[in-house]
Amino acid sequence: MATPLSRLLERAYEESRPLTAQLELTYKCNLLCSFCYNAPKQRRELDGDQWLEVLDKLKQAGTFNVILTGGEPMCHRDFFRIAEGVRERGLVLKTYTNGVLLADRARAERYASLSPFQTEISLHGADAATHDRLTGIAGSFDKLMVALGHLSDLGVKVALKTPITRLNQNQLEAIDEIGRRFGYPVTYDTNITPTDDGDLSPLSLAADREFLVSFFVEKMKRGEKGLRPRPVAKMKQNCGTGRTTLTIDPYGDIFPCVAWRRPVANIMEVEDLKAAWHGENPTLAYVRKVADEVPRRTLSGRPEGGFASFCPAVAEKETGDPYAFYPAARVSGLTKLEAVRRVRGKEADEAEDPVADGGSPT
């Protein structure tokens, strides 16, 4: 049954309205995560005045959801000025951060005063040894714990995010306990992706497949969502890349999404973003076509297709073909399919669920 939100998203997709903009304020970071996908360039990053100009263009184009990220967004010298600019324009403020700088109470209080809609913070392990090994900086875990205490006291809404790796896969219960301690939910990401410049080395950190099967089995037993197949035979598109989402890097280059690093234009050279987004652009035409065709050309007809975490941008990085069912996507699909089979038996191979999670255009 369609909800007001689903109808809004469907209409935004049909109108190619960029509802969500992810702004990579800077590639500077106070951590050295071994699986980071950013690829900094020797170019001058946008300053605070320029980012405020970007916000005006986004609002005019119909954006209402703004995500500040990086790198570490709080490493940008004008972070608070930019974040305040988001709120002053009546836009929804979200932040993706490693949380370390919020160990400073005064900074945490200033951040809380912005009333961010949501703050997503990465937690890479249940102890300092694991977390700091993955972040590359000693002491980052302890500072994060202090920051979470401040944010919890201040009533800031936080979602903890944990990419599951072979280094932390046996710590998930302890990570859940950290979330409970501070009153924050934990979400787990089983996908490790290449860097933006195509380096595949982060993939070596991927968790063991048998572990992931057991992980999804336990999720099913707890009644959690996320293991119903997407209805690929009925889907109009794989995702909202180049339509309902866009990403702007620290240099002002506009991309169809965070994963697809095909530049559309530079925001500082665009007077009317709405017109540019709806005008003739070969990059946007290409990614929109691919997103529309992936369900039929790549996912349909495979038992694991509806379960797969498939990204055409990653497919292109790994194989040169955005339609290729690349190894990580196949493994993700087979892993979830195996988990469903262990719990439900062969009914996992039955018709796809028309209300499955993940069928949204965004």
For the chain, domains (ranges, CATH) are 9-281 (3.20.20.70)
Higher pLDDT, 27 or 354: 27
Residue 177 has pLDDT above 70, yes or no: yes
Helix/strand/coil (H, E, C) string of the chain? CCCHHHHHHHHHHHHCCCCEEEEECCCCCCCCCCCCCCCCCCCCCCCHHHHHHHHHHHHHHCCCEEEEECCCHHHCCCHHHHHHHHHHCCCEEEEEECCHHHHCHHHHHHHHCCCCCEEEEECCCCCHHHHHHHHCCCCHHHHHHHHHHHHHHHCCCEEEEEECECCCCCCHHHHHHHHHHHCCCEEEECCCCCCCCCCCHHHHHECCHHHHHHHHHHHHHCCCCCCCCCCCCCCCCCCCECCCEEEECCCCEEECCCCCCCCCEEHHHCCCHHHHHHCCCHHHHHHHHHHHHHHHHHHCCCCCHHHCCCCHHHHHHHHCCCCCCCHHHHHHHHHHHHHHHHHHHHHHHCCCCCCCCCCCCC
What pLDDT was estimated at residue 356? 36
Residue 275 has pLDDT above 80, yes or no: yes
11: confidence class by pLDDT, cuts 50, 70, 90: confident
Q: What are the tens digits of pLDDT across the range 140-161?
A: 999 999 999 999 999 999 999 9
Percent of the chain with pLDDT over 90: 77
- pTM for this prediction: 0.90
Q: What's the whole-number mean pLDDT along residues 73-94?
A: 98
What pLDDT was estimated at residue 358? 36
**Mean of the per-residue pLDDT values of the chain:** 91
Q: What are the tens digits of pLDDT across the range 234-253?
A: 998 999 999 999 999 999 99
What pLDDT was estimated at residue 112? 99
Percent of the chain with pLDDT over 70: 93
Residue 351 has pLDDT above 60, yes or no: no
What pLDDT was estimated at residue 246? 98
Q: What's the whole-number mean pLDDT along residues 167-177?
A: 96
Residue 353 has pLDDT above 50, yes or no: no
What pLDDT was estimated at residue 355? 29
What pLDDT was estimated at residue 348? 53
Residue 362 has pLDDT above 70, yes or no: no
Residue 204 has pLDDT above 90, yes or no: no
Across 2-16, 155-169, 307-321, least confident range: 2-16
What pLDDT was estimated at residue 38? 73
